[in-house]
Amino acid sequence: MEVFFLLFGVAALIAVSDMFSSDSEPEPEDEDRITGTEDNDLIFTDGGQIVEALGGDDTIISVGEDTVFAGPGDDLIIAQGAATILGQEGDDIFAIAPETLEANDEQWPVVGDFNPEEDTLILDLREVDLGEAGTEETPIILTGVAAPDGEGMVVQANGFNLVQLSNYGSDDPQAALEALVTDFEAFALFGAAIEFPEDPDALPEGVDVSVNDDQIIFSIREEYAGGGALSVPDEFDPLDFGVSEFLHAIDLSNLSDDTLIIFGDDRVGTLTVGDLPPTTLKLPLSAITFGAGNDTIDLRQAGADDIGPSGLIFNATEGTNSINIGQSIDGAFNLSGGENTVIAAGGEAIITGGQNTLIDADSTTNNALMIRLQISPDNETTVSGTEVNLFVVAEDNALLDTVQVVRDDAGGGVITWDGGSFTADNLRTLGIQTNGTLAT
């Protein structure tokens, strides 16, 4: 009967049950109890019954809220309802055969003594109308979750409860289910293609990982698939690199797509590239390098604990970049190219190129921005709303000869040179250095 069931399913087994005349079919002692024999019994229930199958290699088909004691022997217990089952001694097969995925969702069969080293769990969905689900293109998602009563795990298909294994998988239900399916010869599923849910903390495809001092760098390639999290792979142990924990850096320089890095009200950071699923950021974040697309950074909801102890470094070499870090974190901006808009409350900036606009995030306080400006032909920068301490570096004497400084009575100033300019509405200090000479 076991082979017949495996080949054709429970409906066919019931339909041809009269063929198994050599098996014993015990009569119920009363409406509430069925007691088997020491032979190989074939037992059908009506639901709400107690079954004691005793010895032999029994086949028990439960259709309701039965309590089943399979007894010694290698038994096949088929549950179509919310039975409570103990296989007891022997190598037992527990076959879960719901009529629909939703059939057992509110009340499901419970197997009390499943042992993957001896027993087998079968999920039989051959009689279930799955619609478009269950194909190779849209497989059933098989998940393991903690049982509501704290006993073991519940196996779910597309979020619907199928069966509880009370003594298995309580520590890590999903890992236990995946081990059951892949590591033991103790699982089978009929009638559908399956896959496991994506690990929410798995590193997405298209991300290279490297370490530089105390930074772990996540380099996003064009093949990036989205989803998951920028989490540290197991092979990168911070202690092996002489640090207690890594600071996390994100490198978008290989991307041409638009990107968004944002912290929500829940202070969870995400990276979104184009239309791909978002990827969760792991903290503390220490550096972001921009790519060629339109990159937007909104960290107004981030806190000091979300970034490295030395603040957050932004590296912009190309693209159109919008950076808003608000008032709560320290930022350092390396602007060498692209079109960059920065909203921050103070901080430091090294500017060597690009079209840059820096705006004070809090006009109610006196914030100061430290800027090291290397004049170059492709550098135009405007700063508004904050005090600026400016230090100008000119490596080209010919370019230095074209520099003109105009200060106004309100404290602002404009610096121009061939091909570039710097404007600030509150230029507190100004120093210019060339060939080791400082001029103020």
Which tens digits make up the pLDDT trace of 34-62? 998 999 999 999 889 999 999 999 999 99
384 within some domain: yes
Say whether both 70 and 167 belong to one domain.
Answer: yes
Say whether both 189 and 268 belong to one domain.
Answer: no
Residues 113, 124: Cα–Cα separation, whole Å: 20
Last residue of a domain, one of 163, 195, 227: 195
Say whether both 70 and 184 belong to one domain.
Answer: yes
Which pLDDT value is given to residue 404?
92
- Cis status, amide bond into 278, omega within 30 of 0: no
Say whether both 129 and 161 belong to one domain.
Answer: yes
Q: Please, are residues 368 and 387 in contact by the beta-carbon 8 Å criterion?
A: yes
Last residue of a domain, one of 195, 220, 254: 195
Based on the number of CB atoms within 10 Å of its own CB, is 422 exposed (0-12), middle (13-18) or buried (19 or more)?
Answer: buried
Residues 308, 36: Cα–Cα separation, whole Å: 69
Say whether both 64 and 162 belong to one domain.
Answer: yes
300 within some domain: yes
202 within some domain: no
Residues 64, 79: Cα–Cα separation, whole Å: 8
Which pLDDT value is given to residue 307?
87
Say whether both 30 and 142 belong to one domain.
Answer: yes
Residues 342, 311: Cα–Cα separation, whole Å: 15
| DSSP-derived 3-state class of residue 203 | coil
295 within some domain: yes
201 within some domain: no
Say whether both 150 and 215 belong to one domain.
Answer: no
Say whether both 402 and 301 belong to one domain.
Answer: yes
> In which domain, by residue range, is 191 found?
2-195
Residues 359, 208: Cα–Cα separation, whole Å: 34
Residues 426, 424: Cα–Cα separation, whole Å: 5
Which pLDDT value is given to residue 46?
87
306 within some domain: yes
Last residue of a domain, one of 154, 173, 195: 195
94 within some domain: yes
Contacts of 77 (CB under 8 A, 6+ apart): 60, 62, 68, 70, 83, 85, 87, 92, 93, 94, 95
Token pair recorded at residue 255? 């991307």
Residues 104, 102: Cα–Cα separation, whole Å: 6
Q: How many domains does the chain have?
A: 2
132 within some domain: yes
Which residues of the chain are under the pLDDT cut of 50? 4, 7, 21-22, 436-440
Which pLDDT value is given to residue 30?
67
Say whether both 188 and 218 belong to one domain.
Answer: no
Whether the pTM exceeds 0.85: the reply is no
Say whether both 279 and 233 belong to one domain.
Answer: yes
Say whether both 144 and 220 belong to one domain.
Answer: no
Which pLDDT value is given to residue 22?
45
Which pLDDT value is given to residue 134?
83
Mean pLDDT of the chain: 88
Q: What is the pLDDT of residues 206-235, one digit of tens each?
A: 999 999 999 999 999 999 999 999 999 989
Say whether both 231 and 270 belong to one domain.
Answer: yes
